[in-house]
Amino acid sequence: MKLIQLQILKNTIDSQLELFSKPKSFKEYYEDETYGRTGNQEVYFECFTLRNQLLDYALVCKNWFQYVSINYFNAHYLAYNSRNNQYLSKIKESIFSLFQVANIKELFFFDTDYHKSIGTALEHIRKLTSLERINLHTVNYELATEINRTFPHLKLQLVLIDYIMEDFSFSNLDSIEFVHMDINDLAREIIYDGPGFELDFSIFDRWRVNSMFLEYDEACGGGVYHISYSKLFQIQTLRYLTIDKVDHVNASELVDSINDHLVRLKISVLFSGFSLEEEDNVSYVDDEESKEYCNMCDNMYNHKTEIISTHRLSHWVDFCSKLATNKTLEKLSLSNYCKAHVIKSQDVTQISYLLSQSLTSNNTLKSLAISCYVLDEAFFQSLSQYKSINSLKLYDLTQLHLQFLCAALKTNNTIQYLNISSYADPHQKEAFAEFLTSLDDNNTLSEIKVAILFEEHQLEDFIPENLRSNHHVVYKEFLQYRQLYVRRDVKNKQ
């Protein structure tokens, strides 16, 4: 009878597995994230809060209480509150607590203070006698190395915030499963010597970094121009890399980003640099707002010559040639760094053609995000030839490119996920309704993400009545913008 009851309980909870599933380890979280940067503390806090709903099952009887405690409360969330100098969510040593010290196998530890006594944290960890893994999110690098030294048997997955100035190192490398670094405004930590300056990336190599978000100069307050990233691409342990759009990667270094270890890459490219020549006057786009600031030229350093030397079409040829045969990169994002300058039409044609040819040959890349500034109609006409790509995100999407996309998707059977949230137009509702109508014969595209300019109560006007039966809309509102996730019921269409 007891076994039957427990099986009923297991089946009941498993039917809601999406709600009560085990929290992802940091490694799993950053592998799944599109480009590896969200407020993951909030994600984990919400996950553990939802598990409190299991209390109703646990209170049925003693056997159910023990089953829920052992199987669903074996991971613990711990956060340090620097305001009152206390750790939150400490385990209560009571037989009436679902969190039992002896059951905890995985700890999610969010520490937000540089100066908190490390001994207090170590003492708390020491009480968890069945602990197997710690997921540590911290600004305190010394805490990470001390945990590794004190508990060599524990697996450690790290999210480290800010640049390391001290020369810390691990004493037990074999127990380090994953390292992500989230580095903001790196320029404030170093002395910039002008164009040609090279940052020492060896510290990331010593820490065997697997994933990184790197923001070089958040506010450009020091007149910081740009650094080389070639040596960063050479770190063999690095799998997932996002270089924030406040800086760009030289075209001459793009070929280094296509290697045998990077799986996900998100960077900005100075595409207008391909059209820059020494004797040319700089041509601006016909947009007054874009003229207010130019990332390429409004800087204390005169670096036009350097841009020309590091942005030749031959560099793009080399990049595309290497991408065509690459066997590791699965997700690639190339946004346009400077939107104030004109990219010559002949350069757009060549850039688009070379990229299209490489994607036709590539069998590994699954997700592509690319600026429409360097795409022509031929790129979209060849969309079905990019056999491995099932997810497409388009930056800088215009009405013209949306028309190209509509035509291409009518016969496309590879793209399943589409992000067109960069398209914002006063006639957006009419354009999107027409866009959905054009997909009537498409049996593959299952989800579309779009930013919207109108209120939630206007959603009924967004999708035509004749299409509502097989389109499910999820509305999400953020601080500065609104988004829709439109899920198409393609199974019913087949």
Between 66 and 268, the higher pLDDT residue = 268
**Domain end position, chosen among 73, 108, 129:** 129
Q: What are phi and psi of 245, to 5 degrees?
A: -70, 0
pLDDT tens, 338-386? 877 788 999 999 999 999 999 999 999 999 999 999 999 999 999 999 9
Residue 102 lies in a domain: yes
Distance CA 67, CA 55 (A): 12
Residue 230 lies in a domain: no
Residue 198 lies in a domain: no
**Domain end position, chosen among 114, 129, 144:** 129
Residue 154 lies in a domain: no
CATH number at residue 403: 3.30.110
Residue 303 lies in a domain: no
The region of weakest confidence among 20-29, 135-144, 237-246, 327-336 is 20-29
Residue 362 lies in a domain: no
CA atoms within 13 A on the CB side of 266: 21
- The pLDDT, as a whole number, for residue 300 is 47
Q: 414: domain range?
A: 397-494
- The pLDDT, as a whole number, for residue 333 is 97
What 3-state class would DSSP assign to 279? coil
Residue 350 lies in a domain: no
Most confident of the following: 160-169, 170-179, 358-367, 464-473: 358-367
pTM over 0.75: yes
**Domain end position, chosen among 81, 100, 129:** 129
Average pLDDT over residues 419-428: 75
Residue 37 lies in a domain: yes
Q: Write a three-state SS string for 48-85.
A: HHHHHHHHHHHCCCHHHHHHHHHHHCCEEEEEEECCCC
pLDDT tens, 134-168? 999 988 888 899 999 999 999 999 998 876 666 67
- The pLDDT, as a whole number, for residue 235 is 95
Number of folded domains that form the chain: 2
- The pLDDT, as a whole number, for residue 50 is 54
Is the pLDDT reported for residue 17 higher than 60? Answer: no
